[in-house]
Amino acid sequence: MPVLPNVLSALADGSVEIVDLTAPLSETTPVLQLPPPFANTIPFRLEEISRYDDRGPGWYWNDIHTGEHTGTHLDAPIHWVTGKDREGADVSQVALRKLIAPAVVLDFSDEVGKSPDFLLEIDHVRAWTREHGDLPDGGWLLYRTGWDTRSHDQAQFLNADETGPHTPGISVECATWLADEAPVIGLGVETVGTDAGTAHSFDPAFPCHTFVLGAGKYGLTQLQNLAQLPPTGAVLLTAPLPIVGGSGSPTRVLALVER
């Protein structure tokens, strides 16, 4: 019995819904802002080549200016120094099997509503697995924080004050555990990066990048619409551009959900 016709009919009759987890890409898409002396990425921008005019009377097209880590995007292991020597760790080399994978959603939006510096701990994940079952082997842990409601506004999204950015993340212990013990292939977040806004001051700094990418796993950032996913059972289609040697890529992320 072939499977794909059943998938197509389920999509046609709505018993499987497609949820877009991708933020629109435009000049106003928030981008990370590192403090001096570090270099920063550019905002997304279209540069018009022609628009049914003298430069090309019958056609419209643009060049795009973007960083690899702009908008909804995938962090490949070589993004971080701890993953730089891994084989097959650039964004063009992600195994296809990992680009279609199960996902679970851990919802901590209430906690983050009380404190934007909320950190996910191992005990939070263990409490979730007692209720919902194990994390998916070869799948994604999607960390819902409600932060996607801020994604239309750079200042709200980065939420920085004189002490730096304040956005939710993951503790050092939990990042180590996700990297080395959890069966997942990666972590997806709604914030500008997988690490907390205050993670520059952790020991080590940026533990999610350090440990998760160092373990050959992946990060997915600036996701939205996680509220439309069930805690378990979604399947993620993750489509980074195969940028040869790239450390990441803007990525279309779609979820298939049984209704």
Helix H or strand E encompassing 172:
helix 172-180
148 binds Mn ion (CB under 5 A): no
Q: Residue 195, interface with Mn ion (CB under 5 A)?
A: no
Q: What span, in angstroms and rounded, lies between the C-alpha atoms of 171 and 167? A: 13
d(C-alpha 251, C-alpha 239), whole Å: 5
Name which position in 21, 23, 69, 72 contacts Mn ion (CB under 5 A).
69
Of 35-43, 46-54, 71-79, 162-170: span binding Mn ion (CB under 5 A):
71-79
Reply yes or no on whether 73 is catalytic.
no
90 binds Mn ion (CB under 5 A): no
Q: Of 6-14, 67-75, 94-102, 170-178, which part binds Mn ion (CB under 5 A)? A: 67-75
Based on CB atoms, which residue is closest to Mn ion, 69 or 217? 69
| Of 146 and 246, CB closest to Mn ion | 246
Taking the least distance from each CB to Mn ion, the nearer of 75 and 90 is: 75
Residue 204: asked if its preceding bond is cis (omega within 30°), the reply is yes
Indicate which residue of 69, 73, 79, 124 is catalytic. 79
Q: What is the 3-state secondary structure (H, E, C) of 93-130?
A: HCCHHHHEEEEEEEECHHHHHHCCCCEECHHHHHHHHH
75 contacts Mn ion (rule: CB under 5 A): yes
Which of 197, 78, 70 lies closest to 145, judged by CA? 197
CB of 9 to Mn ion, least distance (A): 37
Of 51-59, 72-80, 97-105, 209-217: span binding Mn ion (CB under 5 A) = 72-80
Tokens of 155: 């200042």
Q: Which is nearer to Mn ion, 132 or 252 (CB)?
A: 252
Using CB atoms within 10 Å of the CB of residue 233, give its burial: 0 to 12 exposed, 13 to 18 middle, 19+ buried: middle
Asked if residue 140 lies in contact with residue 191, where contact means CB atoms within 8 angstroms, the answer is: no
Residues 26-65 vs Mn ion: string with x where CB under 5 A? ----------------------------------------
**CB-wise, 75 or 190, nearer to Mn ion?**
75
Interstrand relation of 218-221 and 45-53 (parallel, antiparallel or unpaired): unpaired
Contacting positions for Mn ion (CB under 5 A): 69, 75
Residues annotated as part of the active site: 79
